[in-house]
Amino acid sequence: QVQLVESGGGLVQAGGSLRLSCAASGRTFSNYAMAWFRQAPGKEREFVAGISWHGFSKYYGDSVKGRFTISRDNLKNTLFLQMNSLKPEDTAVYYCAAGQPSYYSGSYPRTEKTYNYWGQGTQVTVSS
């Protein structure tokens, strides 16, 4: 089993920055594609960013491209999301996800079914 534990959420003013972390534990190794999704009340879960197991391929949702950066530290089995220039529209619960797809390209990084394991979510609130 794989367990994902998120941290770093909180309250921040618009224009500020926040860094989320997701630590993997249990029977894990570095060969996982990982991603961040978010969900606001009453809305569907939205893809934020994804990264291949080796870190060479990165994908971003249109609403966060240029502001957010996804990265990973495979030695520590930890995923990060650096969020800059935050907007009130970024307010949501952010979820970490991991999976082992045969391929990580095309539509696969953006689909929830690609990921078998999910974290508990961490609240990010951006005030105006």
Give the Cα separation of 76 and 107 in Å (integer).
28
Distances 110 to 1, 32, 62, 84 between C-alpha atoms, Å:
23, 15, 11, 21
Residue pair 1/27 in contact (Cβ under 8 Å)? The answer is: yes
Tell me what pLDDT residue 126 has: 98
Token pair of 57 as six digits:
């391929």
Residue 30 confidence (pLDDT): 67
Written as tens digits, the pLDDT of the chain (128 aa) is 789 999 999 999 999 999 999 999 876 666 899 999 999 999 999 999 999 998 999 999 999 999 999 999 988 889 999 999 999 999 999 999 999 988 899 999 999 999 999 999 999 999 99
């989320």: which residue's tokens?
Answer: 20
DSSP code string of 53-68: TTS--EEE-TTTTTTE
pLDDT value at residue 2: 87
Q: Nearest-CA neighbor of 27 among 120, 100, 94?
A: 100
For residue 4, what pLDDT is reported? 95
Give the N- to C-terminal CA distance of the chain in Å, as an integer.
40
pLDDT at position 124 is 98
